Amino acid sequence: MSEFKHIVRLLGKDLDGTQKVVFALNNIRGINKRLASALVRKANIPFEKRLGFLSDVEMRRLEETLANIENLGLPSWLLNRRKDLETGKDTHLTTADLDLKIKQDIERMTSLRSWKGYRHSYGLKTRGQRTRSTGRTGKVVGVKKKERAAPVGGS
């Protein structure tokens, strides 16, 4: 049995070795629970196994499955980039590639001045929600709690 690794690096992300493989893969941007379980099944790794206990052979298999998600025979609805505008193919993007494509898509919509691009450029909601009274926009600055005063009597 191989030595336990507390931190495992996959796709440029440090993952917790104490978690089960499916749940550890969830921490990679672009991989959800359903896709993670499909990838683990395709890599022939037991579901109950912890990420830190994977052998070198199992890690290599997992890395290979993560590298070519499109060619595993998974249904197209499981992939996150279907009918790509440039290539027309179904692909799956993760980590920085996903962030970059989303940013490029938003820039394309704003440059075309489509309705969705118009909404994006003004920082409004794009999916038909009502905006008259509610709606969260931007990051919220948290509120600090007051420190409790020490008791006066003190014993």
pLDDT 10s digits, 54-65: 999 999 999 999
State the residue for tokens 């279907």: 82
- Cα-trace Rg, the chain: 22
Query: Are 83 and 60 a contacting pair, CB within 8 Å?
Result: no
In the predicted structure, residue 1 carries a pLDDT above the cut 60: no
Using N-to-C axis directions, what is the helix angle for 33-42 and 56-67, rounded to 10°?
Answer: 120
State the residue for tokens 């980590």: 95
Q: Quote the pTM value.
A: 0.73
